[in-house]
Amino acid sequence: MAAGLSQATWYRQHRQSPPPVRPTRPRKPHPAALSPAEREQVRAVLNERFADASPATAYYSLLDEGVYLASQSTMYRILREHGEVGADRRRQATHPPRVVPELVAGAPNVVWAWDITKLRGPDKGVWYCLYTIIDLFSRYVVGWMVASRESAGLARHLIEATARKHGIDAGTLTLHADRGSSMTSKTLAELLIDLGVAKSHSRPRTSNDNPHVEASFKTLKYCPAFPARFGSIEHARVFCQEFYAWYNRDHFHSGIGYHHPIDVHYGRAAAIRDRRATVLTAAHTAHPERFASGGLPTPPDLPGPAWINKPKTDEAKDATEKTTQN
């Protein structure tokens, strides 16, 4: 035809009356199919006696008892019709929710947090481990170490030496970490008991439970001088020594009012803030028009209590205020 279609196709597409509706016939059950009562019996046996077992286990257990109810595929079909395949019909083990670590530090040497990060070595597959301990209140790195491996024994040595260096008294410090094998080891737990240091751990797969150490690692690895690879473990140690000297003494940390961590840790931040306020007051007195707001400029507030998961209860707020006053 001129339209490029066959005659039959043309008439089928342009006929006016709709095609006849074919009557739907109910599907007849297969002569060998189980009756509704038998299907309910199979379902009841699977969900009651074999609630914690697979249909295959139920099938062969019944066979050994001389009972045949249905094939394995039929058992699965019956369970699938009711959404009971897999663990949905089994009794599930329930675990209590992990306790959220809620820590507050209103002064230095009240809460320390530590972690381990990897540093690339000179060759593929060669890594060095950087252990870092940071004070929660001041962000001061109180201890660090670069080692060739991750080890609970090495962690014990670093924590013990750092605690003695800073004169930590028993019952005054909490040490927070994630749930790595070194952090949860029996070796380290015994040391903390000996030192009188309380321990705290992050929830599994919750990096926000240890944010301060993670932030320090990011500052380290985003440092312009940070190399793609370290030529040797001595190279890594020299670099970290220079970096942490800068981090503690020269780095203006936004989380502590743009003070240096060492000044906050050793109580010099208040005097520094007073000097900053004096300079700003003098500048405002000399040229008030240069300050857009017109008001007296003030430096950032002194660092207050530092948190890991700030508690929401009134009791926790009272404890915080008490810690800050002390």
Predicted pLDDT of residue 324: 41
Binned at pLDDT 50, 70 and 90, residue 222 comes out as: very high
- Pick the closest to residue 140 from 221, 219, 247, 242 (CA basis): 247
Could you give the CA distance from residue 22 to residue 83 in angstroms, rounded to a whole number? 33
Instruction: Pick one of 3.20.20.70, 3.30.420.10, 3.90.1010.10, 3.30.559.10 as the CATH number of 103-255.
Output: 3.30.420.10
Q: What is the mean pLDDT of the chain?
A: 87
For the chain, counts of helices (H) and of strands (E) = 11, 7
pTM as predicted: 0.68
pLDDT digit string, tens, across residues 5-22 = 787 777 777 665 666 777
129 burial level (CB within 10 Å; 0-12, 13-18, 19+): buried
Widest CA span of the chain, in angstroms?
Answer: 103
